[in-house]
Amino acid sequence: MFDCDHFYRCCVCEHEFMARADYDDDPQTRDCPKCRNAVGQVAYLGSSANSSGFVLSDYGAVESPVTGQMVEGRAAMREHLKRHNCRILEPSERKNFGI
């Protein structure tokens, strides 16, 4: 089912996890394996095969598309996304924006 590792984060309990082969990867129905109370609120973080160099342990400084300010580090990005009620796009959504 998966040809690489996919990482997710639960927006309810903040649990981050790697999808197992039997994990439901549908953004509408997938749930958090820890709290099991996060249907539709599990953010896709990226995959090990992501050519843009996604690193689970830390983000480099990136320019926020929301504020235009630099956001440095994973914790700051997490806070930033939360503050602006944003999440990282699903790969299937990216093509809608031509990314």
Give the residue with the Cβ less far from Zn ion, 34 or 74. 34
Min. distance of Cβ 69 from Zn ion in angstroms?
A: 29
d(CA 16, CA 80): 17
Give the residue with the Cβ less far from Zn ion, 14 or 63. 14
User: Residue 41: which of 82, 3, 73, 9 has the closest Cα?
Assistant: 9
User: Residue 5: which of 14, 13, 15, 16 has the closest Cα?
Assistant: 16
Binding site for Zn ion (CB under 5 A): 10, 12-13, 15, 32, 34-35, 38
Give the residue with the Cβ less far from Zn ion, 35 or 70. 35
User: Residue 25: is it exposed, middle or buried by C-beta count within 10 angstroms (0-12/13-18/19+)?
Assistant: middle
Min. distance of Cβ 38 from Zn ion in angstroms?
A: 5
Residues with Cβ within 8 Å of 93's Cβ and at least 6 positions away in sequence, in order, are none
Give the residue with the Cβ less far from Zn ion, 13 or 56. 13
Min. distance of Cβ 40 from Zn ion in angstroms?
A: 12
